[in-house]
Structure 1
């Protein structure tokens, strides 16, 4: 049997794409904690990291997995075959060994009788390591085997153990010195266990001198990068965009936003309220917005369903509000801990009557920062609810990003109209819903004597007075619609920041999509180009109103347009056609609760290219 270090070295030199390590076991065995610590250490070592995790919906028990991909170059996606699988039990081997590429490495917890897991693959380097035995015999605590395994991994990858100790001290500080001490001891035992046996496990491909210098600089100035999740990035972007009131109800996988806001928004003069349900959350947000305070809530699919009537109230009363929907697999309660892009139709069309609203979607963790801020700018400028469609795979993915400067994310926030600038009064009466060419009228907040008006969910005239006259309903419906048409025209004339493009312009095969599929698609396009198949891509961040002219200009002349999306029915492909985008659309759907890997997108590209 070849040495583990030799197998991994040959594997990584051949690939020149860094490495992917997957940690798997039972929920409650510390899989996620081990993965997060490994991610943190790799990031502090100057590497670019991107992660993916799966876990059961139950509080304890059930299979759990954490995957971290790392390289000396920025990464598009955390997905792809694993180079190394660290399995805490036999079930983890059975469930995840198929994800290991041929020639990869599997490290599994040693059996007391010396046997091997049933059905263990023969085309990988498999090695038993006594994670559990060391934890039981030397620490009298089997729960520390994740720290033993992590210490062994640190040794194999030549990572400084001090960084792991610092993480443990910070992570378990609230549990007392005894818990911190035993976990640090477990790290040390695992580190000693593997120092000889697994040396060199993390060695990467040979790099150019410039790449080595860049990595060394990043390692010596680790503060230049941060490791952050999509949910955290959205929350930071929202605060930068002016959010000063947050109301929410806990729901997987959006709860992290509520927790982050509760911890940090008060430092910016903001207020956080946990409400009794999702309807109360959005109602509270609309109330704060009426009072002139930029406000937000976050939920997932079932919660968004409950908010539909209040979204209509926000549209009718023309109140700015930001609603983040972190999508999970559905319908109904569905699979709370799995990802999907199944809420597009609900976000765009959900509601009775014509209720136009803005819908946005970030394409990466880094993009969550910008979209979080942009959502508030748009809501305030166009006086309408803005729905941000995130996804579990983005929300809980952690990535290393350059630390942005304040100038990158903070822009001067433009407040709504004040008494000094109101000019909508006629004979002393303020017309809150005055009809204008672009549909946007001057807004005032309570307490402004010059801006007294009625606000209601009923159809109303320019003053806000309820009205059921046909001409009033026609004109007000057009007013609400024209606002979004103005946004669409602005985006089509200045698309920077609203779309992402990649690939050579002369390509005859195109990829079009939205949301988290961007990273895997761009990586697949690069792989295809290396095989002599040029592919270009366009990912839109504004889903409603849809920038049809940009999409049509991209599609024109292409022989095939592949639309990858994480749902069964191909909602985005149908939406494109419904909005008038004409072209040779080829659907690529997936409904497993898991994101696309680059290989899956590449397979469809190859299939289309061979026709």
Structure 2
């Protein structure tokens, strides 16, 4: 790749389940990385266990990107079965390219209505004459050439992926790729995009183009952060879209002398986590909304017994089973207020893929230091999309480890300390035995229904959460100006790109993204909002859960609006720009 190139290209590969759209997209993103590019791929599936639809939505750029663009330059359909289900997710322009196999049938009307130049390529016929040839590998070759990349990197990747499984499949995939690469298309998309596609303009806060790139998805980022934080035991029950996180953690925990146990259900999972943590091993579970609903009573036990526990909730569309394979930010209310009684705990939300590592490590260390429950709110968009980004670099503030106790004949497990944190004895410590259950208790851990004991322990549990100094990681603030975008979680990346576009157009805007949602930090947000004339709240929620949370805990600018909608469609940078430029 010419270092002088400046391009930003979005493309989609769609097909029915099993057609290989996701495999083609993943390989194409890897090819882009080996050619010195940055990028992102969002996986979109139907809710069916087998069959259904699948799409790989890619953005490949000469500059780091963290969200998808507003529209797509190219759509390649391996087949048109169920393609209408992606009509809302894949926005085309009149100048977009549509590549389709004539043998797969006519282009659906919803796609035709968006316009675009249709190019017929016999993907199936090109693959049919090759032993173990696949149309998705033909598509990979075609797109590799269209993007202006050489064939060698892709060929190496195909060999690495398939040869260990079957030599014939590896050979057939390579030959199919070469057939696709030989197909003539228009001039290199990268060259056209260098002059026609504005993309995300360079900004001083973006990393340099050279240097090490990381290729991972958000679930892997949360897993890495958990291991860095010290997690060595995981108990969980599989659930979409958190299962990828568990699959990634299992072999790596083995390498660290830790363990992952698949429990019989979510209730067992959270109780196993509490048992391991009570025994001195940092522990966590990962789930999604329906699973966390089942864990709420056990999570309350973590708070009452002051046992460190981390719950990673990868949010999806709800309520009930909802849309298991699509993203939404609608477990916020449950994370903040779902526990019964007065149950002070922490809620932390990663802001982008790189932050999945930092936020999760921070959450684990805070949980250990403050001996309580911490919920990490990720979502399907972060968890199951893959990025090529500069190597994540961060530094956490100093956080004390778990406060433990040695032999003590006068041991008070729940001593009323100034910080609210009391020494936690490991089972087997002489003269320091105690019972950690859900009953209210005295400072010596003896059950008590006395009003004074209840008030003292309530104060203690609240004090340690409220008085801790969380530092600057509570939120991320960028930009200047008297207009502020206030957001959280995965919508942060789109908000940041909107700010860069507005700044380039001469309209300075700030974006403040909250990482620490509970406990609330009203004084810190008041400082961050100083000088703000108007605020746009951005969230992916039908019920405006984030807006109601903000109004409950914070003073916001008098002139405030909300851009809110439910999943599964992510909020785009263009929508945010439109909301602000149309605000008179």
Same fold (TM over 0.5): yes
- Residue aligning to 1:21: 11
Deviation at 1:446, TM superposition (A): 0.5
Helix, strand or coil for the counterpart of 2:477? strand
The root-mean-square deviation of aligned C-alpha atoms, in Å, is 2.6
Residue 126 of structure 1 pairs with residue 118 of structure 2: yes
- Residue aligning to 2:479: 503
Shift of the 364–92 alpha-carbon distance from structure 1 to 2, 3 Å rule, reads same
- Residue aligning to 1:456: 437
CA distance in structure 1 between the aligned counterparts of 2:237 and 2:114, rounded to whole angstroms: 49
Check conservation: 1:241, 1:410, Cα contact below 8 A: no
Residue 470 of structure 1 pairs with residue 445 of structure 2: no
- Residue aligning to 2:326: 338
- Residue aligning to 1:370: 358
- Residue aligning to 1:261: 249
Show CA shifts across 1:146-194 (max 9, x none).
11111111122232323223322333345322222222221121112x2
Q: 1:159 is matched with which residue: 130, 149, 153?
A: 149
- Residue aligning to 1:139: 130
1:20-59 aligned within 5 A: 20-59=10-49
Name which of structure 1's ranges 126-135 and 356-365 shifts more when overlaid on structure 2.
Answer: 126-135
Deviation at 1:484, TM superposition (A): 1.0
Show CA shifts across 1:492-511 (max 9, x none).
xx31x33111221xx22211
Q: 2:570 is matched with which residue: 595, 600, 608?
A: 595
Residue ranges of structure 1 left out of the alignment (5+ in a row): 1-11, 212-216
**Normalising by the residue count of structure 1, what TM-score does the alignment of the two structures yield?**
0.87
Q: 1:302 is matched with which residue: 287, 290, 295?
A: 290
CA distance in structure 2 between the aligned counterparts of 1:382 and 1:416, rounded to whole angstroms: 8
Deviation at 1:429, TM superposition (A): 2.6
Show CA shifts across 1:529-548 (max 9, x none).
33343221110100000111
Deviation at 1:31, TM superposition (A): 0.8
Residue 606 of structure 1 pairs with residue 581 of structure 2: yes
Check conservation: 2:403, 2:422, Cα contact below 8 A: no
Deviation at 1:404, TM superposition (A): 5.0
Show CA shifts across 1:278-310 (max 9, x none).
111111110000000001110000000000000
Helix, strand or coil for the counterpart of 1:553? helix
- Residue aligning to 1:248: 236
Deviation at 1:412, TM superposition (A): 9.5
Residue 522 of structure 1 pairs with residue 496 of structure 2: yes
Residue ranges of structure 2 left out of the alignment (5+ in a row): 203-207
Helix, strand or coil for the counterpart of 2:425? coil
Show CA shifts across 1:5-27 (max 9, x none).
xxxxxxx99xx651111111212
Name which of structure 1's ranges 90-99 and 579-588 shifts more when overlaid on structure 2.
Answer: 90-99
Shift of the 228–409 alpha-carbon distance from structure 1 to 2, 3 Å rule, reads farther
CA distance in structure 2 between the aligned counterparts of 1:533 and 1:158, rounded to whole angstroms: 35
Residue 482 of structure 1 pairs with residue 474 of structure 2: no
- Residue aligning to 1:416: 402
Shift of the 131–582 alpha-carbon distance from structure 1 to 2, 3 Å rule, reads same
Shift of the 184–480 alpha-carbon distance from structure 1 to 2, 3 Å rule, reads same
Check conservation: 1:42, 1:49, Cα contact below 8 A: yes
Check conservation: 1:510, 1:561, Cα contact below 8 A: yes
Deviation at 1:356, TM superposition (A): 1.1
Shift of the 452–93 alpha-carbon distance from structure 1 to 2, 3 Å rule, reads closer
- Residue aligning to 2:521: 547
Deviation at 1:112, TM superposition (A): 7.9
CA distance in structure 1 between the aligned counterparts of 2:153 and 2:474, rounded to whole angstroms: 39
Deviation at 1:121, TM superposition (A): 5.2
CA distance in structure 1 between the aligned counterparts of 2:69 and 2:333, rounded to whole angstroms: 27
Residue 395 of structure 1 pairs with residue 374 of structure 2: no
Shift of the 81–247 alpha-carbon distance from structure 1 to 2, 3 Å rule, reads same
- Residue aligning to 2:315: 327
Show CA shifts across 1:433-488 (max 9, x none).
0001121111111111142222111000011110000000011011101111113x
Check conservation: 2:365, 2:401, Cα contact below 8 A: no
Helix, strand or coil for the counterpart of 1:330? coil
Shift of the 117–254 alpha-carbon distance from structure 1 to 2, 3 Å rule, reads closer
Helix, strand or coil for the counterpart of 1:205? helix
Helix, strand or coil for the counterpart of 1:175? coil
Check conservation: 1:240, 1:410, Cα contact below 8 A: no
Residue 533 of structure 1 pairs with residue 522 of structure 2: no
Deviation at 1:409, TM superposition (A): 6.9
Deviation at 1:401, TM superposition (A): 2.6
More helix per residue: 1
Show CA shifts across 1:392-417 (max 9, x none).
00001111133357xx5799996534
Residue 443 of structure 1 pairs with residue 419 of structure 2: no
CA distance in structure 2 between the aligned counterparts of 1:512 and 1:462, rounded to whole angstroms: 41
Question: How many correspondences in the alignment?
Answer: 567
Q: 2:171 is matched with which residue: 178, 181, 188?
A: 181
CA distance in structure 1 between the aligned counterparts of 2:163 and 2:455, rounded to whole angstroms: 62
Deviation at 1:140, TM superposition (A): 6.3
- Residue aligning to 1:105: 97
CA distance in structure 2 between the aligned counterparts of 1:104 and 1:92, rounded to whole angstroms: 21
**Normalising by the residue count of structure 2, what TM-score does the alignment of the two structures yield?**
0.91
